[in-house]
Structure 1
Amino acid sequence: MTTLPLEPATVSSASASHTWLRRIHSGGQIVETCPDWCTDTHRNDESGYLDDLQHGAQFDGLELAVFDAEHGTMPMPVLAGRINVDPYSSDSRRCVPHIHLEPFQGEVMECLTPNEFAAAIAQVRAHCDRLEAVHAQLMKARAEYR
């Protein structure tokens, strides 16, 4: 799976649509075509169950140095995710492009709509504003501590 660089308000799209003949496990076949933004290779999607197909584009998260008791400080991705669509899903939320957001590694917020994703972004932005206030408070505390 390709991981895309995180750029302001964009996720890079694939250069051309990928089309292939897909054999369906229960019999028959179908021609599949990726959306323009899909960067998945689909190497393992030439056959299988119809609803196993996903199209997507990964986006990297910010890496923060986090302490790990066994390994010392290690980079940990924060706010990584994927634009995703499961075109044959029985879940209507998955049949349209949506966001899977990983606030931190191993945890996911699934099937975010554009409005839900915007709300998450606003929450993170507001928290960063609060962190800047804490930073100013820390600078003041250090200056007074000397």
Structure 2
Amino acid sequence: MALFGHFAHGYRGQRKSRALPTPGLFNQRLQPLASEIHPDQRSTSMTTVLPESPAVPADAPRTWSFVNRLTGRPEQVTCMLGCTASHSTEMDAPAHPDDIWCQSSGEDVFLPVNETGSPEFVRVLSSTLNVMPFSTTIAYRLPHVSIEVMQDSWIEGLDPDGLETVIGTLAERVEQLRRTHAQLVKARAEYR
């Protein structure tokens, strides 16, 4: 992953206060995959989780204040459009400026991933749009995207060109998977 090395420094794109949901209705396309899972680990569900609703309409940025823990003085913050973070923790008690960030999350998708000998539903290819107005990394003070490739494994700080590079890389992999799918269908048909 040397290609993305310069994006993967500094903060984590983790979502604030978001527990993993219980998987919901299983996607029809993954039914064949479910038959490959050990019967004791089989689940008939998969989840897509919508982001939290913003406190105000997406076309009206919120302005709020917090007490800077370093200086003891109040600081004013204006959220980016579409920010879904409540910021209540930062407003209620003195906060470090590095802990202030705006975030808007996309839908979460979970797939059964076998990392420990039995499949578990893991969040994959989730993304967040972020702004960290007090970051020591100047680029993070502008809107940027973090992609959670697989639960707790992030590509961070993507500007538009960086995000386009990731999208292109994933599109190439999807095309490879389509070719592999065609090979699998043919191999199964000939195997009978």
Name which of structure 1's ranges 73-82 and 12-21 shifts more when overlaid on structure 2. Answer: 12-21
Q: Deviations over 1:80-99 (max 9, x none)?
A: 12111111112112110111
Q: Deviations over 1:59-88 (max 9, x none)?
A: 234321123546x43211111121111111
Aligned-residue identity in percent: 29
Residues in 1 aligned to 2:137 and 2:155: alpha-carbon distance in whole angstroms: 16
CA contact (8 A) 2:65 2:75 kept: yes
Residues in 2 aligned to 1:51 and 1:138: alpha-carbon distance in whole angstroms: 49
Q: Secondary structure at the residue paired with 2:141? A: coil
Residues in 2 aligned to 1:66 and 1:50: alpha-carbon distance in whole angstroms: 37
Q: 1:58 to 1:98 in 2, by over 3 A?
A: same
CA contact (8 A) 2:102 2:132 kept: yes
Partner of 2:79: 34
Q: What are structure 2's unaligned runs of at least 5 residues?
A: 1-15, 19-48
Q: Secondary structure at the residue paired with 1:141? A: helix
Paired amino acid for 2:97:
L
CA contact (8 A) 2:80 2:131 kept: no
RMSD over equivalenced CA pairs, Å: 2.3
Q: What are structure 1's unaligned runs of at least 5 residues?
A: 7-11
Q: Deviations over 1:98-126 (max 9, x none)?
A: 11111111111110111111110111111
Residues in 2 aligned to 1:143 and 1:50: alpha-carbon distance in whole angstroms: 60
> Structure 1 segments of 4 or more deviating over 3 A?
1-6
Partner of 2:68: 24
Between the two proteins, the alignment pairs up a number of residues equal to 140
Point out which structure has higher relative CO (alpha carbons under 8 A, 6+ apart).
2
Residues in 2 aligned to 1:79 and 1:65: alpha-carbon distance in whole angstroms: 13
2:143 to 81, 90, 97: 97
2:112 equivalent to 1:58? no
Partner of 1:9: none
TM-score by length of 1: 0.83
Shift of 1:29: 0.9
Q: 1 or 2, which has the higher helix percentage?
A: 2
Q: Deviations over 1:27-82 (max 9, x none)?
A: 21122221222110101112212232111112234321123546x43211111121
